Amino acid sequence: MSQLNQLRFAAFVMTYERPQILLHTIHKLFEQTLPPQKILVVDNSITEDSKNVIEQLNDSRVVYYRTGKNIGPAGASKIGLELLANDGYDWISWGDDDDPPHFPNVFEQLLQTASSVKNVGVIGAVGHKFDKKKGIVLRTSDALLDTDGYLDVDVIAGNVTMIVNADVVRKGVLPDPGFFLNVEEYDFCLRVKKAGFKVIADPAIFKSYRLLKGRMGLTERPKHVLPKTSVLWRRYYSTRNLIYMLNSNEKKIIAALNVSMRSFGKMLSGFRKGWSYGVLNALMEIKGIYHGWTGQMGLRVLPNKKY
């Protein structure tokens, strides 16, 4: 623990119009056995509600940064990493306003593991290998969670406590703000590995997360569940960003084609929920495929809008 206390450790929390959830997460971060020395709130909100709750908190350890517009998690994470790395911190927790660590010792355990392994660029609570031929994440087996030490992975899953070595940022590896939403963590982790760093997960923390979610013992991928109409717009970003990452960044054209074919399958399955749902679902997927292959990135689709 004494060695960890010498590290300069900070966190950024991205938020969008959820001031009370943000406040809850900040409190949870400071309750960690190894809390961050600084929390940077990167606010994508249009209103000043989040700014007001931070001012009322009146804690010098919490610093507020307003982006002025909604630049999505991808844009906000780039700002958070850049600002904290420039402030001289060694390790930076990457978090959203609704995903504090599930257990009070997560930061301490992750940083302890990272400090015992050479050349770690990113460590997380949950990580997997990524199949660049098929364009899919490969589930880490339950058996591997009993490994001593650490797991060598390709990507850290979103919203599961990812901590970044600031040396990665200083070498110019940053999230691509063009992704706006979804897949940005995967793209970032794959580029961290290309830069010569390791991406790892802590098996003990990973197992505790999986037990908490009741996901131990799964022998096959969960069946595809059609999302609610209100969140269909998110499918656009998942499809677009995955295709763009594979085709443009990874130069894996076959994998990008595989993602496109799976997307067509999702279009057909959408009509099981009715004509209006199927049409909207197909529109999101078609836009995602087209924009992914043509590189039309950034904020393109908004929720609660008629298309």
Closest by CA to 131, choosing from 221, 258, 237, 235, is 258
Phi first, then psi, for residue 21 (nearest 5°) are -65, -40
Report whether 199 contacts 153 (CB < 8 A). yes
pLDDT at 6: 81
Boundaries of every domain in the chain: 2-212, 229-294
pLDDT at 307: 41
Tell me: the pLDDT tens digits for 237-284? Answer: 999 999 999 999 999 999 999 999 999 999 999 999 999 999 999 999
Instruction: Please give the Cα distance from 206 to 234 (Å, whole number).
Output: 26
pLDDT at 223: 62
* Of 7 and 307, more confident: 7
The amino acid occupying position 270 is: G
* Architecture of domain 2-212 in this structure: Alpha-Beta Complex (3.90)
pLDDT at 239: 97
Instruction: Please give the Cα distance from 247 to 289 (Å, whole number).
Output: 11
93 forms bridges with which residues in the sheet? 11, 163
pLDDT at 125: 97
Instruction: Please give the Cα distance from 98 to 153 (Å, whole number).
Output: 24
Tell me: the pLDDT tens digits for 159-216? Answer: 889 999 999 999 999 999 999 999 999 999 999 999 999 999 999 999 999 999 998 9
Report whether 237 contacts 183 (CB < 8 A). yes
- pLDDT > 90 in the chain, percent: 89
Average pLDDT rounded to a whole number, residues 132-143:
94
Phi first, then psi, for residue 192 (nearest 5°) are -60, -45
SS3 155: strand
Q: What is the dihedral of CA 145, 150, 154, 157, to 10 degrees?
A: 60
Which two structure tokens, joined as six digits, stand for 149?
């030490």
pLDDT band per the 50, 70, 90 thresholds, residue 304:
low
Closest by CA to 81, choosing from 181, 178, 177, is 177
Q: How many helices (H) and strands (E) does the chain have?
A: 11, 11
pLDDT at 210: 95
